Structure 1
Amino acid sequence: MTELEGDGPPSTGPVADPQGDPFLHTRFAVPARPVTFLRRERLTRHLDEALRTPLTMVNGAAGAGKTLLVADWAQTRDGPVVAWLTTDAAGQGPGMFWAYLLRALSASGIALPEDIGFPADASRVPPTLPARLAAGLSAREQPVVVVLDEYDRVAAPEIAEQLEFVLRHAGRGLRLVLVTRTEPLLPLHRYRAAGELTEIRGAELAFAPGEAAELLELHGLRLPPAAVRALLERTRGWAAGLRLCALAARQSPDPERYLEEFEVDHSTIADYLLAEVLRRQDDETQDLLLRVSLLDRFRPELADVLTRRSDAGAILARLSRGNAFVEHLGHGQYRLHPLFREILRAHLRMQRPGLEPELHRRAAEWLRRSGSLAEALGHGAAAGDWEFTTGALVDDLAIGQFFTGPRSGAVTELFSRMGQDTTGPAAQLVRAARELSRNGDGGGRAHLHRAERRLADYDGMVDGAADRAAVGLSRALLEALAARLAGSPGRAENAARAAGELREAVPDQLLDRHPELTALLLDHLGSARLWAGRFEAAREALSAVAGSEAGATTALPREDSLGRLALIDYLDGWLGRAERTARTALAETERFGLPRPSGSGVERLVLAAVAVERDELEQAQALLDASAEAHPAMRDPVLEAGRALVTARLHLARGDPRAALAAVEPQVPADVASPWVQGQVALVAATAHLSEGRTEAAAALLRRVPDDQAACAVGAARVQLAVGRPAEAVRLLDRARPEGSCGPAVTVRAALVRAQAAHQRGDAAASHRLVARALLEARRERLRRPFHEAGPWIRPLLDTASLRGLTSGWLVPGAAPPDGGPARHAHRPPPVVEELSGRERDVLRRLALMMSTEEIAADLYVSVNTVKTHLKSVYRKLSVSRRNEAVRRARELGLL
């Protein structure tokens, strides 16, 4: 039995949707049928076809009876499990849609695979989710019937593409029923041509004369056939129109005449709802309905706050039972029929102008007290009360939502409407956060200074220490970010110390509710320490973030911290570890489906740097280009300097020293210079000068290289050797002793410097031994650049019989076999007629390393199908049919 088989209890899973709100379980419930519901057997029999075709579409106008038809069918037939989901137009992005659909499957008793993933952002979905869901469904013995009610609310094309993918690949394991007002964005023509689509459209949904007469009788109306036909002519069999007419007509002393005069255009229905629903209620009920029309959904307690009475519970229960366009959602929540709500809001503005802001303000205050911060902020903004709204955000320690989490875009958009007349400290902090999240440092620092000037007055106005601490913590977070962006490690340390002192005054549950604040603060501190060259202190702060509990709200600082930990590993020469950590960083936000740019891009920068070291220059360029996509609040000097250095090294690898010099010539703006950046820039520039014969310029740059960093010392030793100072080069290595602290990217270069120095003094045995040691270390990490940079002296050594085996297959093309026998060139086949492309060579190199198709795809950041396409082209061009033949032929031709 597969993980999706069985109709047992629902699997455990997230209890909140991607926006952090509890799941609305009423969206998974099959709607109840009213006592006046008329079952129409002709439609039910047609709907039975849904069990035999993958896709069923019930398509008709609003009020055509679609939902009740499918609900009645789902509740009365025997057969497979039915999972029901009523879609929602509000925030209906891919992430929200799939989160609710997974929850609907779970609620119907379908156990989901543990690795399926869960969307954490309303606008995105993890890319592996549709494939894993389809695979699980395809293995079921009995299909699952999934009903998507009100599917016309789903407007995102990517949702339709993902849904069609699941439907196509789930096979017999899924039967999809769409209840919709519009044509869905699916390839319906293909399903029609294959006979795999069941359709019930508006014409078929329309009531026939006999059905209309039965429906009217259920409402207590017995009309002559001519009157029924006349009503059908005017309503065209529209179910809601018939019901509205019946409801109105049964209150009239002359129903037949009333129906003759009744019109069903929009304004008439609006007049009807006001006259026959609203005005038939008592004054208290009318007042309540008008006031709650400002709310999407609400509890009786909130309705009482808006009316300043205590009778909302009884009134709402009565209205719901009486089908008076008030729907009980369960769990104590209600909502108005959307059309009724719209009409009531317009009526409220006309009848009671000026009341709306006050109602929004009351709703905002109640929602804040009840813990519904997001809704409270929305109503505070609608009221135009920005002092309250900014204060609520800051006091709740939610300032980090500007930068990370699924609500970051919504929060930024909400406060973009705030005018300049709000001048309190909370407002200035919010403005600073908004500027920092959108434009990096920009005007954020100016708003921080304004907030500081107002904090003293604020302290005098606020009684609670927790509120004062919340303001201080929010300020410390923004100050740490501004310091990071400015390259000011001292300011970042001061902000972190201030935050540590303030944490004691904040309730633990408030800090637990917003883990992103601590994660962001430590991430900013760690990056500032990294800029200062304090690698171990930076690693401590960044590791605390990377090791924190994963979640959507902390995904960005976790990704960024992992990327910077990878950068430290790279700078210390540990390429393999840097690559693994960088890939973990990439997966961090992808697992939650967060939007891009979702991080600093430093992890792609590290992967580009690793690719340069492996001489995979096309891949390095692609990764370098991708690293430019970065969150504005993460574009700090570490990132900018790193991009300049990797760009310069890529130019050097391509033999363009002038471009390399141009890449590192502009200084990265920062309050404090970074010692390691200065040293790395000097070494890159020195290498560029040496390649063009300017030895004096190269030697002069060594004064900028710090002597307390092993990696820089090794680079300086290489330059000393190149300018003719081998003894000084060896002394530098002896003092730095990189072998005890650095990885192969540093120690291999150190060994090669010693080998070249030995070669120059005529010690062939020592030179040979050191080159062999360097090859052994480099081979594990496919580290090619140091040997390409070493110069012509090393080539004869690499071609010796004893070293040829260490280079075979990864460094030197056409090398002899490891046993020292002759290279197989005597009967070399003719060269390929069609040259291999750069990407085909990339695939071929990885093929030679015995990497699987999946591993090659992951390494090149392409799909498995793309790799297979390249392999087919390689086989054709090399005139082979298998992998081992392709590798052997490529070696014979000197392509590897």
Structure 2
Amino acid sequence: MLQVGTSRDGRALLERPRVLEHLDRGLRHPVVLLGGLNGMGRVTALTQWAQVHGAVLVQPGAWDAQAAAQVVAAVATGQRTLLVLSARDPGLGEALEHARSLGGLDAYLHVVVRGGVALGVDSAALTRHSGVEVASVDPRLLLFTRSEIMELGRLHAREIDEIEAGEILDATSGHPELVVSCLRRDDERDARDQSWLEVAVGVVRENLTAQGPNTLLPTDLRAHLRRVALLGGVPTRVTNALAARQGWAEDLQDLVACGLVSIGPQDSFQIVEVLGRAVSASAPEVVRCDSRTAVRAAQELWAMGEVAWALHVLEQRGERADLITVLLANGSSLPDLGVTRILDLERRWSIAVEPELAVLVARALVDLTMPGHDARLTPGRLERAAGLLVTLPGTIPARLNVMSALVQGPVERGNGDAAASSETLRAALAEVEAGSGAVEAPLHASLLAQSAVTHLSLGQYREAATALAGAETLDDSGVPAAIARAGAPMVTATIETPRWRDLDDGAQPAAARRLGAYGRAFRAFSRLQMDEGARLLRSEFGPAGAEPARDPLVLEVLAQQLESVAALATGTQESALWNLDVLERALEGRSLTAFETSILRASRAELLSELDRVPEAEDLLRDGLGQFTSTDRVYARVQWRAGRPEVALELLEPVITDDHVLESRQTVWAYVLHALAARDCDRMEESNDSLRRALALAARNGNLMPFARHGWAVLVGLVRQAQQTHLDPASAMIVGELERAVASQARTHLLGRLSAREQAVLTAAAQAADAHALAELLFVSPNTIKTQMRQVYRALGVRGFSEVRVVSRALERDAPAQ
């Protein structure tokens, strides 16, 4: 191609055939939008295109009578004519109308509009003005590539190799004017021993100083850059979702297209380094976000369920008032943060100085000790919660009084004084029911649910049932969540059967002991402490079917379900199936509720499917589908186990897409199942999303069992997948706990199957990227490693070197605790 044009300083212009090719495509349309920043070389590219195609370029400073005459004269020559105008030209509409009046806007007359960064806005406005389809040329095409920078260096009599061209590209994002300006300072750079980034930052700072930030960065552009700066470190998927909710998603993509925003190494949007550093030094107010924007972003993130990232945004901003505003607005969901994060916030930001936040924090600490959470009712935690209440003023509103009772009652119960707890909660309930203060339904429901648990600890089962029934009748969408936090799912399943309510006074203490043992065993299994969970069940329930007449029957059934789930995690399905046979024979002649029947069927079906007896499992479940969610999810697991992952996905879809579904352990299991089935269908984006949701829920309810429920080998695969997925901090902690479970199981049950040499190979795998690298590390041949690795695969039951590395690294990280 022949060289076209010269630069303003007389040097030859860079040939850019790829840019001209895309202009060719755009100029098949009568109106073309060429957006981007000043200095991106748009006019230069149009000049080159016009000379190559023999076209006339009309570029008036603004639309006026003289410009109109120039267009008429150009059209009269019979040559193709390009009329170049600014999108901000007030006469743009008149210019387009003038072009139409000439019979133009066709193959020989094109209007090229130089737009700004807001490509979507400019395109919509142009379409309205012109009444024809508008073609847009992607501004990224104008940014220099590495090879173009090397060629540009030659034009400037400067030899630039590929490595240096890459450094210039990274420093300037390929912005044409900035690249040229940097090259012109090459001698100065050498004298000062500067990097290309330092040179580029200097150029931008000078422009900001000379022209002012308002000229280089218009108001609307600065607003979006502030948002990007505020969301630094937040994953792109979260930022995109937030931008869509707030209505600036298209603007965000425009910033990326114009080279002002990039995706950083942490998979988050960030202002390109050269601009960020220059602005920070010369005009920091440009990207400094105000409180209103920060609070709104955090509130939106919290509403999206991205609580960890909402706090991340506020904490990196460092304004305590903003943090307190958001925490107060979302106080009822503080337990979602987990104990560690709550205590960290209280310590670093002194949030409990605010009376209402003091109660909210104290209440969250107590809520997190209830069943369904990582329940560690330690004296220190109770003292901390009680101590926060001491700071409250003597006279507090009714709402705070109720919240205070929601802390004090469980604290008293945890200290062994259930009677005092009952009195504290009873007094608060009396105040609420007397209407002495406006208290929202979720608080009222929590008060009733806490009362139910206290009644249980006193053996007052009928009173507990009455309290729960009162909570469930409250008309508020937040009630299910409040009841769930108070451990009501287990309480409901236990006390609301006729047998439980009809127990005589003599049978109630023994039933209470078994309920406590069940709760402790459930928590042990939730933390994957399998031996401890089994010990607790056996200590109170004895062998399966040992006392077939014992009530309430639902507790016997629930205990058997726990044993079955533990067997799935440890690979002892045959033993669990035998115990289930023993229990069912012992219960012959007894009347089972639909709930109890469904649990026994689902447990049997799940064990059968794991033993490759899928048809039997399917027959068991078909009649009970649609009645209980646990049955439906076991059926989905059976379909997945049978090699029909697409059927499992269809069955799980209602749970995955329902934003209002109760966030229980069953929901975590549904997300885990969905992740596994989607992975088997090669739908990795869906699989990763479901795994992230499962981990986020597990971080809130403390239950790890759904990840181990499909066996140790599947758990290893899930850990490997999670390690390759971007996670929030709380979810990453759950992955760490799963790694420790992997190490514990491997050390206890699997390493004994390996020879000393094979154990050494497994240990070294943590340091190698693949089998070939492992062979080099151990100074053996690849064939030797293959032979040894086959035995390691067989002993561990894993697939592939990457899963062996998961086990090896888990053992390595867990080693100091040994």
The verdict on a shared fold, with TM-score over 0.5 as the criterion, is no
TM-score by length of 1: 0.33
TM-score by length of 2: 0.36
Higher helix share: 2
Q: Select the structure with the greater relative contact order (CA < 8 A; seq sep ≥ 6).
A: 1
